[in-house]
Amino acid sequence: MLKKVNPKKKSKLVNILFAGFITGTLDGLAAMILNYKINPGVIFKFIASGAFGPAAFAGGAEIIVAGIVFHYVIAFIFSAVFFLLYPFFYNGLRNKYFVAVTYGIAAWLIMNLGVVPLSKITMKPGYHIPVSTILTGMLTLIICVGLPVVFIADRENQKFK
């Protein structure tokens, strides 16, 4: 006999998947727009180089696809974590726009100070990220990750109050 799925849980899963798809797409488009002089394939090879190291840049379409998959997996993880923590964030900060800004900045910090240094992405010794690049990256994640996921999570939480 099949168990009935709780509509609240099903709705939350659908919204997490939707948020991950939206944020992954917006962030990927932003990366291509901000790096318009670079072939988009190189952007996704860079992402894949987190797992495969510098050899990723010599790869072909399979590495680009791997980079796209990794990009969306990360977007889905950030969306899922946010959905689980949204009530905590919102109760603590009481303003969904402030929550979006905070989450966008937190996502940038986690990726650039945690994930990237622990990955196989190689940076030249002594490389420092310019402040303008940091601010652009944070603003991009606020717009492409923070705001969409806040609006989707807020809508989800309003339905079940």
Residue 2 forms part of a structural domain: no
pLDDT digits (tens, 9 = 90+) for 6-42: 666 678 899 999 999 999 999 999 999 999 999 999 9
Residue 133 forms part of a structural domain: yes
Are 65 and 103 contacting, i.e. CB atoms less than 8 angstroms apart? no
Give the pLDDT of residue 31.
97
pLDDT digits (tens, 9 = 90+) for 82-132: 888 888 887 887 888 999 999 999 999 999 999 999 999 987 777 788 999
DSSP 1-64: -PPPPPHHHHHHHHHHHHHHHHHHHHHHHHHHHHTTTS-HHHHHHHHHHHHHGGGGGG--HHHH
Token pair 């109050």: residue = 161
Residue 136 forms part of a structural domain: yes
CA neighbours closer than 13 Å in the CB half-sphere of residue 139: 7
Are 28 and 47 contacting, i.e. CB atoms less than 8 angstroms apart? no
Give the pLDDT of residue 64.
98
Residue 143 forms part of a structural domain: yes
DSSP 112-137: IIIIHHHSS----TT----HHHHHHH
DSSP category for residue 143: I
pLDDT digits (tens, 9 = 90+) for 52-82: 999 999 999 999 999 999 999 999 999 999 8
Residue 3 forms part of a structural domain: no
Greater confidence (141 vs 90) lies with 141
Q: Give the structural domain span for 141.
A: 8-156
Residue 1 forms part of a structural domain: no
Structurally, how many domains does the chain consist of? 1
Residue 161 forms part of a structural domain: no
Of 45, 41, 31, 37, the C-alpha closest to 143 is 31
